[in-house]
Structure 1
Amino acid sequence: MNVFVKSMMMALLCVLAWSAFSRAAVAAPVPMRGVIEGFYGTPWTEAERLDIIAFCKEHGFNAYVYAPKDDLYHRERWREPYPKEELDDLAKLIAAAKADGVRFVFAVSPGLSLHLDGKDPAADRAAMLAKLESLYKLGVRDFAIFFDDIENKDGAGQAAFLNAISGELHRRHKDIGALLTVPTEYDRGVMTDAEGNATPYTAAFAQHLSKDIVVLYTGEGVAKGRLTREQLDTANALYHRQLGLWWNYPVNDYAETKLALGPMDPLPLADVPVILYNPMKYERLSKIALATGADLACDSAHYDAETSWQHAIRDQYGDLAPAMQIFADHSTHLENDWADIGRADAPQMRKAVDGLLAALDQDAPVPVKLQRLRTLDDDLVQLQAAVETLQTRLDPATLQECQPQLAQLNRIVTADRLALKLLRQQLAGTPIDLAPLAVARQDIVAHEQEAHISDNVARLCLDEIVNRL
């Protein structure tokens, strides 16, 4: 199926979103839905941005937000105009987005140095307007001003600044579209106090901000999955408006050694005005999750994460899809002390590991232990074959994005299979030599600063088996 046909099919799905489907009404697509290049670290190249804009058109997204944190003229030096060469590059992106029917939203993050009161507030309003006007001349009609990840918590001052910019833009131009913002307290975990009431900052920002400015937030935490309808309604009540979602998956700028290759968790998108997915710096690999996010945004009522995920991989990887699905299955969950998002890694293999461990711990009959050992080893053989296939057949650009994880997974699986071999020998009453396994484990640990994968399945399995040898 060629790109044009697939694009037309996705567009038709969104156009028909009000009609009946499978005996139930298809959910209306989210009015503004798309990708926000809002991560820290190396920004995308112009070629990657052009590619993601085409991807948006193909998959039913209608917005791309330009907001790379490490673009100096977006954040640290926001007052300064873009140099001509960079402005010319932006002009190409804006033209491409317009041609593809994708809204190009230009964002500025001025909060690190913005003067909200004192000596220079008028000068900063003028600087912001000049910056946005330079992009208006290139064809941008939708803008965003973000206050995330800063120390200043003058909610009333930020709201006044946004109101002034919005009012002046609409006074000058009749065709201005959306103005989006992100507050400094942008997840509900910090929007409320211990009693569940809005913090002083959130209360002031919500009270003073014009109702025509769209507020984005990230859910219950910065990167927390499984947002419920009740949780969303509670957040909306804090602002007395429908909030938009800046969803932090598959972005991994806080854990770059682990790739986010899973599906989007289901989200309660009815009445949500905007859904924007923050991707990884790895543009090609981000498309797996983003494609599922497009399915979710176009018809949340019938979204099935696993089905969408499998379809996305088949669509993007063709005859490599079986191998890619096996690999991606082991890299879907991101977690640290504040993040917990994406479905669990390799749930079926985890069951196989648990089955073997239970047989060992419960001192099951030896034939049962051996059968469960063989079941797990078969899975590991399949996984290792998938890694080899991808390492030899993936296109060079995609391989470059995931080679560290492929190599680390191969080390883990090799060690896992060695551990199973030793376990089989032990069950047969044969003496075992743990030295080679110790060397294999050391090799894995030596590479953990550059790559993580299957943390709680294949990697943890190794330690769990070693502890029983």
Structure 2
Amino acid sequence: MTNKILSVIFLLVLFSRTTFAASIPLRGVVEGFYGKEWTAEERADVLRFCHSNHLNAYIYAPKDDPYHRKKWRKPYPADKLDALGNLVAVAQQNNVRFIFAVSPGLDLSYHGAKGEKDFALLMRKLDVMYKIGVRDFAVFFDDLKDKNGMHHESGKAQAGFLNRVQKELRRQYKDVASLITVPTEYYRFDMLGNSGETNDYTKDFADTLSKEIIVLYTGDGVVCDGISEEDYQAANTIYGRELGIWWNYPVNDYSVAPVGKRRAKRNAKLALGAIEKLPASNASAVFFNPMSQYNMSKIALATGAIYADDPASYDASQAWDRVLKEQFGELAPAMKVFAVHSSHMENSWAKCGADDAPEFVDAVRTVMMSARLNRKLTGVAELSRQIDEMEKAADLLLNNLEPRYLAECKPQLKQFKRIAQADRLALKSLQDKKIDPRLKALRREIHKHAPKAILSEKAALKFIDDTIDLLGTQWE
């Protein structure tokens, strides 16, 4: 009898852990990047993707939609409004909250007759969206620095404006959700002065803002290397509430670090890793900002969905393997070889995503250590194996990947193959103790394509340059 009771208790505990995992209440995708917008078809597909991946929200906030930001006062033309209405309908069909965002802060007036007129124009815009079915709204104040680096308006004025918007929405409509916002100081190091004390802007904004309004922030920086539990709670303390997270991965609307003398363009590198290093405790919301390359964004977005479903038990590596298998089937092993060399995003102010190809870096370190000591090379077989794996993966994906994926990653896959071929020549050069003439030519070809296709900057690409530098000084 005792054993049966214990078995029942065990099953109940197991059931409760697997069935009632603590999901983040508001979790989804924010189309909030700069650059080419998604198409209507891609937006509809992301809503279906959200539904199938247990995400329950989508924020419409494309930075380059003029009616979202620069021309926020102007109503949407009939065709664009119809398109948005269709998207709202798709969202409703998929039980996804369609959150309409507007960013008026570039030239918003807060006071006097101009302030009243701007408030009326904003409410009119939100009213039109309500009539096409929107019940969730966001007003953003991010990226509003003037030429002197000062904020256009005080935190108190912005927060007061937001409070008034929410109050008016609630007065007119009984079924709207809590307003969502992003302040001008939306990351923690921007909230704090040199002394470590909270800036006046953030203090005024936080103290004035209604506790019902959800505040999104991005971590310690705009694009940062994770948010620790301690840092998350510290940010919550500043605001006196549980903040939501706007996570800038896999977004790639900024340039990665220079490659030689040439800087990669926006969107040149694909962020194909898993969402990682986010708090284990539940935030009030989490939104993942994707790439303009919609289909390739699904890798990270799907891992983000797994995280948001149960942050406490999330394992990034397991989630990544699972997602790659679900999305690419038999091509998953090849896609992983490619993606492991294109996961990390970094420049002078941004750093996010797992390091590129750590096993490749380890293999190179072993070979280069013996080469620098002018000894017989060690670790050649392992490095050669990984290089062969890279080239085979590139060929397999170039020949067999679905067109919708290939259209978004073909330049990077071709570059990946060039890098693998150059890595093989670099290894041969180390063995021969002289630079193979083909290596420098291939390196020039790689750098020619680097502005539009970059990956593995600190791993496979670095091995090429390190080999040329070493042989040029040591033996030539």
How far residue 408 of structure 1 moved from its aligned partner, in angstroms, is 1.3
Partner SS state of residue 308, structure 2:
helix
Aligned to 1:3: none
Indicate how the Cα distance of structure 1 residues 223 and 118 shifts in structure 2: closer, same or farther if over 3 A, else same. same
Map 1:393-408 onto structure 2 (within 5 A): 393-408=400-415
Shift of 1:22: 9.8
Tell me the secondary structure at the aligned position of residue 164 of structure 1. helix
Structure 1 residue 416 and structure 2 residue 427: aligned?
no
1:352 corresponding residue in structure 2: 363
Q: What is the distance in 2 between the residues matched to 1:25 and 1:290?
A: 22
Deviation at 1:397, TM superposition (A): 2.2
Distance 1:397 1:408 in 2: 19
Listed as ranges, the matches of 1:284-323 within 5 Å are: 284-323=295-334
Does the aligned pair in 2 maintain the 1:352–1:375 contact within 8 Å? yes
Bigger mean CA offset, 188-197 vs 63-72: 188-197
2:249 aligned with 1:238, yes or no?
no
Identify which of 80, 102, 107 aligns with 2:96. 102
Q: Secondary structure at the match of 2:379?
A: helix
Q: Report the Cα offset of residue 380 of structure 1.
A: 0.6
Quick one: which of 338, 344, 353 aligns to 1:342? 353
Q: Deviations over 1:148-175 (max 9, x none)?
A: 0013142111111111110000011111
Distance 2:17 2:280 in 1: 20
- Equivalent runs, 1:74-93 vs 2, <5 Å: 74-93=68-87
Q: Which residue, out of 332, 336, 343, partners 1:325?
A: 336
Alignment partners' CA distance in 1, 2:310 and 2:187: 25
Which secondary structure state, in structure 2, belongs to the residue aligned with residue 65 of structure 1? strand
Consecutive unaligned residues in structure 1, runs of 5 or more: 1-17, 427-431
Shift of 1:266: 3.0
Say which of 282, 286, 299 aligns to 2:293. 282
Question: Identity of paired residues, percent?
Answer: 46
What residue number does 1:8 align with?
none
Q: Deviations over 1:181-222 (max 9, x none)?
A: 000010001000122211011011111111111110000100
Give the aligned partner of residue 218 of structure 1. Answer: 218
Contact 1:269–1:297 under 8 Å retained in 2: no
Residue 5 of structure 1 corresponds to none
Contact 2:229 2:281 in 1 (8 A): no
Write the letter of the residue equivalent to 1:275: V
Q: Is the 8 A contact 2:166 2:178 kept in 1?
A: no
Shift of 1:84: 0.9
Q: Corresponding residue for 1:177?
A: 177
Paired residue for 2:393? Answer: 386
SS of structure 1 residue aligned to 2:458: helix
Report the equivalent of 2:254: 254
Q: Describe the superposition over 1:277-297 as per-residue Cα deviations: whole angstroms up to 9, x where unpaired.
A: 000001100000001100100
Q: CA deviation at 1:443?
A: 1.1
SS of 2:302 mapped into structure 1? helix
Residue of structure 2 equivalent to 1:12:
none
Partner of 1:163: helix, strand, or coil? helix
Question: Is this contact kept in 1: 2:193–2:199, CA < 8 A?
Answer: yes
Deviation, structure 1 residue 435:
2.8
User: How far 1:467 sits from its partner (Å)?
Assistant: 2.3
1:374 maps to 2:381: yes
Q: Take 1:378 and 1:207, find their aligned partners in 2: how far apart are those partners?
A: 59
Contact conserved, 1:236 with 1:242, CA < 8 A, in 2?
Answer: yes
Name stretches of at least 5 consecutive residues in structure 2 with no aligned partner.
Answer: 1-11, 146-151, 256-266, 472-476
Partner residue in 2 for 1:11? none
Rounded to whole Å, the distance in 2 between the matches of 1:214 and 1:285 is 29
Q: Which residue of 1 aligns with 2:260?
A: none
How far residue 463 of structure 1 moved from its aligned partner, in angstroms, is 1.2
Deviation at 1:233, TM superposition (A): 0.9
* Residue of 38, 42, 47 corresponding to 1:48: 42
Instruction: Show structure 1 runs of 4+ deviating over 3 A.
Output: 18-27
So what's the TM-score if we normalise by structure 1?
A: 0.92
CA distances 1:267-314 after superposition (whole Å, capped 9, x unpaired): 115241100000000110000000110010001111110110011111
Shift of 1:357: 1.3
CA contact (8 A) 2:344 2:352 kept: yes
Aligned partner of 2:380: which letter? L
The code of the aligned residue for 1:67 comes to A
Alignment length, in residue pairs?
443
The equivalent of 1:13 in structure 2 is none
Assess, with a 3 A threshold, how the Cα gap between structure 1 residues 104 and 24 changes in structure 2: closer, same or farther.
Answer: closer
Distance 2:359 2:58 in 1: 35
Q: CA deviation at 1:396?
A: 1.8
CA contact (8 A) 2:398 2:410 kept: yes
1:76 and 1:19, CA in 2 relative to 1: closer, same or farther beyond 3 A? farther
In structure 2, what residue type is equivalent to 1:392? Answer: N
Of 231-240 and 459-468, the range deviating more from structure 2: 459-468
Structure 2 match to 1:15: none
Report the equivalent of 1:14: none
Q: Distance in 1 between matches of 2:168 and 2:89?
A: 25
**Displacement of 1:349:** 1.1
Quote the residue 2:459 is aligned against.
457
Distance 1:354 1:201, change over 3 A: same
The residue type paired with residue 288 of structure 1 is I
2:23–2:282 Cα contact (<8 Å) kept: no
Aligned partners of 2:19, 2:469: CA distance in 1, in Å? 53
Amino acid at match of 1:147: F
Offset from partner CA, 1:333-388 (integer Å, 9 cap, x none): 00011111001011111111111112223444x2xx2x512211111111101001
Q: TM-score, normalised by structure 2?
A: 0.90
